């Protein structure tokens, strides 16, 4: 019996629909157990459990907590497409759903990605659609997309447990993407302007700064003249960094922002240590490098003014995201079939915003990073909730699964065209060399 491509798509959509309570239940369970990057132990266990329910083998421990399914194999060998879900939550202290002990919460909706990833696998397996395709699908639950808790991660780097700071960067370095030819990830969105499903857009590149000012403690009232105030050095550095803003060019889409993570321990002692976690973002890595010179100068100015010492760690952050146009068009077409043309938004390439390590992956592989509606509030905010799990999880699962059918359908095998026409900016070894070059550890002593 032969089946048409569109009938097969309908069959997969029906299977996802049939199991939607299970898929949504899984996404909700992940949300109730949020963990931050490289600590997603319970979350990884839940992914392993559901892979086992689907009779999927897996390997674990990819970049500490990542879990990668064995291929959902096609009828003949062919390219391998990864469907990615990010394991990590954020820290938003005043979010009503934040974990009581850790303040971790899924305020970026990554739990929905894991749900959609399972939806795609379940749809292909239960409909046996994979048995008609030429190629494989891998479900890959990956750690640490959010670049947070940088002191913890830098310690892991110093201990040799990590090479790079975000999950996909590290997975690329370790070879976990070596057998993947293309990848997709659908991210939840609370922006009304994204409609039900949104396609396209870019993200900014970034550099992580971790700064430690070292002063000298003394009695804050009895002998302040004997101390060196590290907090004041940090204050001057923050003011100097802010003063650079008038020189930023609009076209470069620069964002410079950060937090003071240590600024003293007791009010009657001159603070001897102050720490900053800072971020420099821009349209390109060249822009980030250009701004980094001004930021380094500003940080040193703070230490110099107070006669303190300062260590500036620069950690290679995300690269800008380039989405594959051919894959985007296929996804767009399926999205329109699923939710109607009026509910799909196509973003231009010049759209800016945050950063993601899908950007890093996009520099070496063809990828897409569509978005799905259903969330409300502000991403990363205390009012971010998934209001409509069907829109956030089920709809994108259907759109991704049907896109995979187009890519691996034996009669046209659009994946081959995607791969043959894709010109990656870097090979994996070039990517690793580039990111290693962006690492810095600069110690300056202005005490004498
Ligand atoms: Zn986020
Ligand atoms: Zn996110």
Q: Integer distance in angstroms from the first to the last C-alpha of the chain?
A: 84
Phi, psi values for residue 225, rounded to 5°? -65, -15
Kindly give the distance from the C-alpha atom of residue 428 to the centroid of ligand 1, in angstroms, as a whole number.
Answer: 25
What does the pLDDT look like over 47-83, one tens digit per residue?
999 999 999 999 999 999 999 999 999 898 899 999 9
How many angstroms is it from 446 CA to the middle of ligand 2?
40
Residue 350, pLDDT score: 74
Distance 107 CA to ligand 2 centre (A): 8
Whole-angstrom CA distances from 390 to 49, 86, 168, 394 are: 22, 19, 27, 5
Q: Give the number of the ligand closest to the Cα of residue 113.
A: 2
Of the bound ligands, which one is closest to the alpha carbon of residue 185? 2
Contact in structure between 293 and 246 (CB atoms under 8 Å) = no
- pLDDT tens digits, one per residue of 95-106: 999 999 999 999
* Closest listed residue to residue 351, CA positions, set 327, 324, 322, 378: 322
Question: According to the model, what pLDDT value does residue 1 have?
Answer: 60
pLDDT grade for 94, boundaries at 50, 70 and 90: very high
Measured between alpha carbons, how far is 83 from 393 in angstroms, rounded to an integer? Answer: 13
C-alpha radius of gyration, the chain, whole number: 23
Q: How far apart are CA 111 and CA 432, in angstroms?
A: 29
**Centre of ligand 1 from the C-alpha of residue 87, in Å:** 12
Q: How many angstroms is it from 425 CA to the middle of ligand 2? A: 24
pLDDT at position 330 over 80: yes
- How many angstroms does the Cα of residue 185 sit away from the middle of ligand 1? 13
Chain centroid, CA 18 distance in Å: 30
Six-digit token string for 243: 């003063």
Taking the centre of ligand 2 as the mean of its atom positions, its distance from the CA of residue 106, in whole angstroms, is 9
Q: Which residue has the tokens 């931050």?
A: 36
The reported pLDDT for the residue numbered 76 is: 86
Rounded average pLDDT over 318-331: 97
**What would the 3-class secondary structure string for 322-384 be?**
CCCHHHHHHHHHHHHHHHCHHHEEEECCCCCCCCCCHHHHHCCCCEECCEECCEECCCCCCCC
CA of 383 to the centre of ligand 1 (A): 14
CA of 75 to the centre of ligand 2 (A): 34
Q: Are 142 and 83 in contact (CB under 8 A)?
A: no
**Length of the chain, in residues:** 448
- Encoded tokens for 178: 């070596």
Ligand nearest to the CA of residue 358, numbered in listed order: 2
Task: Report CA-CA distances (Å) from 332 to 180, 262, 346, 371, 399.
Answer: 22, 46, 8, 11, 8
448 alpha carbon – ligand 1 mean position (Å)? 43
Is residue 221 very low, low, confident or very high in pLDDT (cuts 50, 70, 90)? very high
Ligand 1: centre distance to CA 365 (Å):
22
pLDDT in tens, 163-211: 999 999 999 999 999 999 999 999 999 999 999 999 999 999 999 999 9
Distance from the alpha carbon of residue 310 to the mean position of ligand 1, in angstroms:
30
Q: What's the pLDDT tens digit per position in 133-175?
A: 999 999 999 999 999 999 999 999 999 999 999 999 999 999 9
Task: State the distance from the centre of ligand 1 to the C-alpha of 412, rounded, in angstroms.
Answer: 36
Top-tier CATH class for 205-317+433-445: alpha beta
Residue 352, pLDDT above cutoff 70: no
Residue pair 439/312 in contact by the 8 Å Cβ criterion: no
Q: Give the SS3 label for residue 131.
A: helix
- What's the mean per-residue pLDDT of the chain? 97
Q: Which ligand approaches the C-alpha of residue 147 most closely?
A: 1
pLDDT at 328 > cutoff 90:
yes
In whole angstroms, what is the distance from residue 388 CA to residue 189 CA?
A: 11
Ligand with an atom nearest the CA of residue 379: 1
> Positive or negative, the Cα torsion across 141, 142, 147, 148?
positive
Question: Is-same-fold flag (5-203+319-412; 205-317+433-445)?
Answer: no
Distance from the alpha carbon of residue 213 to the mean position of ligand 2, in angstroms: 31
Which residue ranges make up each domain of the chain?
5-203+319-412, 205-317+433-445
Q: What is the pLDDT of residue 348?
A: 87
Interval between CA 230 and ligand 1 midpoint (Å): 31
Rounded distance, CA 40 to CA 64, Å?
Answer: 9
What is the pTM for the complete model shown?
0.96
Query: How far apart are the CA of 111 and the centre of ligand 2, in A?
Result: 10
Structure tokens at 27: 């996404």
Tell me which residues have their CB within 5 A of the ion that is ligand 2. 108
Distance 354 CA to ligand 1 centre (A): 8
Residue 170 CB contacts under 8 Å (≥ 6 apart), including other chains? 63, 143, 144, 162, 163, 164
Q: How far is the CA of 353 from the centre of ligand 2 (A)?
A: 12
Output the CA angle 204-208-212, nearest 5 degrees.
Answer: 155
Cα of 360 vs centre of ligand 2, distance in Å, is 14
Domain covering 5-203+319-412: architecture: 3-Layer(aba) Sandwich (3.40)
Rounded to the nearest whole angstrom, what is the distance from the C-alpha of residue 308 to the centroid of ligand 1? 35
Q: If you measure from the C-alpha of residue 380 to the centroid of ligand 1, how many angstroms do you get, rounded to a whole number?
A: 6
CA–CA separation, 319 and 147 (whole Å): 13
Task: Give 188 Cα–ligand 2 centroid separation in angstroms.
Answer: 8
What's the token pair of residue 385? 């909730």
pLDDT digits (tens, 9 = 90+) for 227-243: 999 999 999 999 999 99
- Segment 31-49 shows an average pLDDT of 98
Torsion, Cα of 100, 102, 108, 112 (10° steps): -70
Does the pLDDT at position 375 exceed 90?
yes
């Amino acid at each position: 019996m032969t089946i048409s491509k569109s009938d097969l798509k309908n069959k997969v959509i029906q299977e996802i629909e049939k199991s939607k309570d299970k898929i949504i239940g899984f996404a909700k369970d992940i949300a109730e157990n949020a963990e931050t990057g490289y600590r997603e132990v319970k979350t990884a266990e839940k992914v392993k459990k559901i892979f086992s329910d689907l009779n999927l083998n897996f390997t674990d421990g990819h970049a500490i907590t990542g879990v990668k399914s064995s291929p959902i194999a096609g009828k003949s060998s062919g390219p391998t497409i990864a469907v990615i879900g990010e394991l990590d939550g954020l820290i938003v202290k005043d979010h009503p759903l934040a974990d009581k002990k850790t303040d971790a919460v899924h305020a970026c909706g990554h739990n929905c990605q894991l749900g959609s990833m399972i939806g795609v696998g379940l749809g292909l397996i239960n409909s046996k659609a994979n048995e008609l395709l030429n190629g494989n699908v891998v479900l890959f639950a990956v750690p640490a997309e959010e670049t947070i808790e940088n002191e913890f991660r830098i310690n892991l780097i110093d201990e040799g447990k990590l090479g790079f700071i975000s999950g996909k960067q590290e997975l690329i370095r370790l070879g976990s993407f070596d057998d993947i030819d293309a990848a997709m990830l659908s991210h939840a969105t609370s922006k009304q302007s994204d409609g039900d499903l949104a396609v396209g857009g870019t993200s900014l590149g970034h550099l992580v700064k971790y700064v430690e000012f070292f002063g000298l403690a003394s009695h804050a009232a009895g002998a302040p003249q004997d101390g060196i105030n590290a907090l004041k050095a940090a204050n001057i550095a923050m003011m100097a960094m802010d003063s650079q803003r008038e020189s930023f060019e609009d076209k470069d889409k620069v964002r410079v922002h950060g937090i003071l993570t240590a600024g003293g321990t007791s009010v009657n002692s001159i603070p001897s240590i102050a720490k900053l976690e800072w971020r420099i973002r821009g349209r390109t890595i060249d822009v980030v490098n250009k701004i980094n010179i001004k930021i380094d100068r500003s940080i040193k100015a703070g230490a110099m003014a107070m006669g303190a010492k300062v260590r500036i760690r620069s950690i290679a952050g995300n690269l800008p995201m380039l989405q594959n146009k051919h894959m985007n068009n296929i996804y767009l077409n399926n999205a329109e079939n699923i939710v109607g043309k009026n509910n799909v938004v196509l973003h231009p390439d010049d759209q800016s915003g945050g950063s993601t390590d899908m950007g890093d992956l996009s520099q070496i592989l063809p990828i897409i990073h569509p978005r799905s509606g259903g969330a409300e509030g502000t991403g990363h905010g205390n009012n971010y909730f998934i209001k409509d799990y069907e829109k956030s999880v089920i709809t994108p699962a259907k759109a991704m699964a049907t896109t995979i059918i187009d890519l691996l359908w034996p009669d046209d095998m659009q994946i081959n065209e995607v791969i043959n026409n894709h010109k990656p900016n870097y090979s994996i070894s070039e990517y690793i060399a580039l990111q290693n070059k962006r690492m810095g550890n600069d110690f300056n002593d202005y005490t004498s």
